[in-house]
Amino acid sequence: MVKFRKGSLCIILTSLIALASCSNEPADQASLADLEISDVVDTLEELSTVETIAPEPDAKMSDYLRYAVNSSPEVAALRAEERIAQSRIDAALSKTRPQVSASSAVGGYKANVKSGDVDRGTSVSLTVSQLLFDGGMTSSSISEAELELALAEASTQSAVNRISAEAAKAGLAVFLASNNLKSIRKFQEGLKPQVAQLKLMAQSGLVDRSMLDEVKGRLLELDIAEQEARTAENIANLGFSKYFRDLEAPGSEFVLPETMQASLSSKLSVEFAPNVREAALRVMIAEQRLEHARSAFSPKINAQAGSSSPMDPDEHMNAQLGIMLTYQIGDGGARQSNLIGAKASFEQTKRSAQFQIENSKNTLNSLSEKLKNTDILLKLAKKKLPMLVDQLSVAERQIQTGQADVVKVFNIKLQVNEIESRIRQEQADLTKTKIEMAALLGLFSQ
């Protein structure tokens, strides 16, 4: 047992107290945190304004979506995660290469503990070790790192598809809202002659006053519809700016590329969908972690060579060369606990992947059914439109012969406007459904 004198013990305690008192006092931690947060936010705002080449106003949908993806901080963060995952592979591979360590100590020594002075000296040692066997721990770590890189890439693709779909739907919403507002205003302008004629007829007693009141009620409904369309356009513009910042909305509707349209027309499968791919990769990673946990029960064998130089210059350098076998007999149950957890995690990821696949299939089936029904409704609406136009033409001619009144013409015009609005909505829903299907299948990242 090492014994201390009373004076030495006091000196040691005093030194420890002095060291402890050197720590910084948290005088105003809240203010410091606020300042640091403010600096970080400012830096992040500068990062978010990274310039990206803006598409021309008449550019294709793909050019706009490329801009939205390249401007996304989420995608930038995921691409950085890919680089981090790549570095983990390099770190895992390093364990298969020779490991070299060196150490040096500077101090004093006594050739004879019982007598003699303390001499100064330096010791140096060098060790080279090469792993020969570890039960598959290193190989499972490398496989896990490679799979994590694949998962990072799949996560990026998933984000690219989701952001592309959201941006495309935002562009579609702006186009639809703008056209709806233009159509309502054009329709209101076209009704003015009939409304003026109806007012004159009501004043002269040629039509009942109740007819004029009915038309006024319909016109008020149109004013409400115009206000709703204006609000919808403002909201759509806000949604558009989320992905395209200050870009002007395109003058034409977002149209899916022909290759994407062809892919949606072929036999559809979720096998290569980004979310299914992510789920499968997580299962594979969990399997490698299970192998890693099992390998902890194996011995480790290394080929090792080393040399050391003692502090005493009168002593000779020594060297070692051989095979080192290491095995941990007991660890308090840590390895067994890790193995149980790895097995449970593997089972959980398999169940999660199963749910993801089933959910993706159900979503795809729902979208396919919605696409089919929307297409049917669109065809029916387009079929009805020429019939209403014919009715309107006949009614306008009948006004001249007294066989029809202005109210009838007005009502038919309202029906024409409603069916045209429905056709625009059904066309937008058709495109929106195709966009959602393309995102689900990962077509935007191909």
Give me the torsion for CA of 270, 276, 281, 286, rounded to 10°: -130
Residues ≥6 apart with Cβ < 8 Å to 418: none
**Whole-number Å distance between alpha carbons of 355 and 353:** 5
- Distance, CA of 421 to CA of 251 (rounded, Å): 18
Q: What is the pLDDT of residue 94?
A: 93
pLDDT at 149: 95
The domain ranges of the chain are 65-100+123-445
Q: Is 374 exposed, middle or buried (CB count within 10 Å of its CB: 0-12, 13-18, 19+)?
A: buried
What is the rounded distance in angstroms from the CA atom of residue 225 to the CA atom of residue 227? 5
> What's the fold here for domain 65-100+123-445?
Outer membrane efflux proteins (OEP) (1.20.1600)
pLDDT tens across the length of the chain (446 residues): 444 444 444 454 455 445 445 544 554 555 556 666 766 656 655 555 455 677 776 777 888 888 999 989 999 999 999 999 999 999 999 999 999 999 988 887 776 666 667 778 788 899 999 999 999 999 999 999 999 999 999 999 999 999 999 999 999 999 999 999 999 998 888 887 777 777 777 677 666 677 777 778 888 888 899 999 999 999 999 999 999 988 888 777 778 888 888 888 887 888 888 899 999 999 999 999 999 999 999 999 999 999 988 877 777 788 889 999 999 999 999 999 999 999 999 999 999 999 999 999 999 999 999 999 999 999 999 999 999 999 888 887 877 666 566 777 888 888 999 999 999 999 999 999 999 999 999 998 87
pLDDT at 248: 84
